[in-house]
Amino acid sequence: MCGIAGWINLKENISSNIHILERMSETLKNRGPDDSGIFLSEHALIAHRRLSVVDPEGGAQPMIREKNGNTYVIAYNGELYNTEDLRVILKERGYSFQSHSDTEVLLTSYIEWGPECVKYLNGIFAFAVWNDKEQSLFLARDRFGVKPLFYSLTSGNLIFGSEVKTLLANPIIKPVVKREGLAEIFALCPSRTPGHGIYDGVHEVKPAHSILFNFNGLKENCYWKLESHPHTDSFDETIEKVGWWVKDAVKRQLVSDVPLCTFLSGGLDSSIITAIASMEFEKSKNTRLDTFSVDYRDNEKYFEASLFQPNSDGPYIKKMSESFNTLHHQVIIDTPELADALKDAVLARDFPGMADVDSSLLLFCREIKKAATVALSGECADEIFGGYPWFHKEELFNAPTFPWARNLDVRLQVLSSDLIELIKPHQYVKERYLETLSQVPCLPGEKPVEKRRREIFYLNIYWFMATLLDRKDRMSMANGLEVRVPFCDHRLVQYVWNIPWDLKMLEGREKGLLRKAMEGILPHDILWRKKSPYPKTFNPSYTAAVKEWLLSLIKDGNSPILPLINKKAVLDLIDKTHSTGSPWFGQLMALPQLFAFLIQVDVWLREYNVEIDI
């Protein structure tokens, strides 16, 4: 994984601005700590920061290749999992290769197929290709947005980068936030509307989209969509195919020339990945797999079972590690570092985010990086197989809004009346929700409950999953750790999309189909364990820490957050809250996380010198 940046101006000579390009590149040094490179021409400045994973010697970027008198330049962030398949096809078409890197295969694919190359790719990617002869730039992002890519088109300048901070390092882009950006932060955050970059004029290349910029302007194209059609495979065929897709996705994603590990929570999803990976390690590398889990100081003492977190992970992690002979490492996070890292998490994400759910992952990845450069993680299984409570609880399933954020009023109680009047949060959320529902590819003649089921799956894939993928990328890449997500393989997602609900809920269990497909691989008690999400701290010292921090901000008359909050309401909550309360986002973000979120908003406003323009 890496970081990319660039500046294109087709009418003016910008080659003297190398110092600005270098400044943009510097913002990505954590994403690419191993190497850096730049490409300069009159109308195109492109920078790359490299995290070496495959072919450390031959994969340097920006990579330049020529064909028929034309020069092509690529800056690429990602991994292709069908590199060798593509290499065979391209060799048959007369191409030769100077390295065994996926970067060269990707660039050659573009030379051969042009913008259509993205349809051939299996992987996670965000990349830019400059065609010097045509004076055009092509940008593309993977199907589910695992890898980020932002851009801004301002006065003929197309500026792009892996992170928003990269764009802000260019003086053309100002940290201005208008009404819509405020609505994204205070009504939807940590989710973001697909394509929205919060700042005025900043956009995100949408998942499964590409952009072509040339003298005709900027043209956006959607190159892939989920397709709905009747599921015709038999029960046995469905089980077999799901098992094959999952195993193939994991095996493909084990390619690496640097140390690789897995996240292991003891839950179904991470356990499946760990089991397959450990067996492959033993068979092909004759070595043991490193696994990592996270927990919090004194969490066993304060753990509270709930609908969203029914049991703790420890015994299941131990069972998995012993069953598959992994080298397991447990990372324990204490309250002071968890709270302190709230700031670092904002700097990694560029926006307020998931509070300590972010900061804990940031600290976790920091420890993993000491032993590995690549990790595999279990995100996306719940979204595609239906693991979350809102797939099963009627009041959540039928909520007329995003089901993971239905308690909007919980967050609104701490906002100023002026801000609420400005952003009209209920109206804004409803518009985004209905806008998304209008895109769902439903089948003609589907019963209302089946139509609603597709809507819930679609909302989860394009909103909730996108939020978790964004979180995973930012917190891991801030530490130079590449995290891969096998359940996000588009072949698997497309196949499962059309499987009927009664099959997905096999034997009356959430993700029953996935469990059945993995029989014979996992221990029985792991295979049928009730879902439990990423662990959070239950230590009351954390709640006390964020309360104290938030109080200090309120007492500071210069705190930029003060005009945006209802000071009395916040003080009342701090004074009266003696429990964590119900989640207001996802499964983990309750009142302590609301306090932490406000802290992160204040950090964001300060550190990014945000100018609110209303």
* Spatial distance between the Cα atoms of 514 and 384, rounded to a whole number of angstroms: 10
Instruction: Identify whether 2 is a catalytic site residue.
Output: yes
Residue 405 DSSP one-character state: G
Give the SS3 label for residue 153. Answer: strand
C-alpha–C-alpha distance, residues 560 and 423, integer Å: 18
Helix (H, G, I), strand (E, B) or coil at 400: coil
Beta-carbon contacts of residue 322 (< 8 Å; ≥ 6 apart):
none
Tell me the residue type at 445: G
Alpha carbon distance 184, 198 (integer Å): 7
Q: What is the DSSP letter of 589?
A: B
**One of 2, 117, 189, 488 is an active-site residue; which one?**
2
Main-chain phi, psi angles of 378, to 5 degrees:
-95, 15
Report which secondary-structure segment, H or E, holds 179: helix 179-183
Residue that is written with structure tokens 């992160």 in the block: 600
Give the DSSP letter string of 439-473.
Answer: T--PPTT--HHHHHHHHHHHHIIIIIHHHHHHHHH
Q: How far is CA 569 from the centre of its chain?
A: 33
Angle at 482 between CA 476 and CA 487, to 5 degrees: 100
Token pair listed for 529: 């364990």
How far does the chain reach from its first CA to its final CA, in angstroms?
A: 38
Contact 350, 601 (CB under 8 A): no
Amino acid occupying residue 589:
M
Name residues whose C-beta falls within 8 Å of residue 59's C-beta, 6 or more positions apart in sequence.
50, 52, 99, 101, 102, 103, 104
Give the number of other CB atoms < 10 A from CB of residue 225: 11
Paired tokens of 303: 């753990």
Tokens encoding 578: 């003696």
Query: Rounded to whole angstroms, how far apart are CA atoms 488 and 166?
Result: 27
Distance (Å, whole) CA 360 – CA 341: 8
Q: Give how far the C-alpha of residue 602 lies from the chain's centroid of Cα atoms, to the nearest Å.
A: 23
d(CA 209, CA 225): 10
Report cis status (omega within 30 of 0) of the bond before 540: no
What strands, in cross-sheet order, belong to the sheet with 327-333?
327-333, 290-296, 260-263, 374-376, 482-484
Residues serving a catalytic function are 2
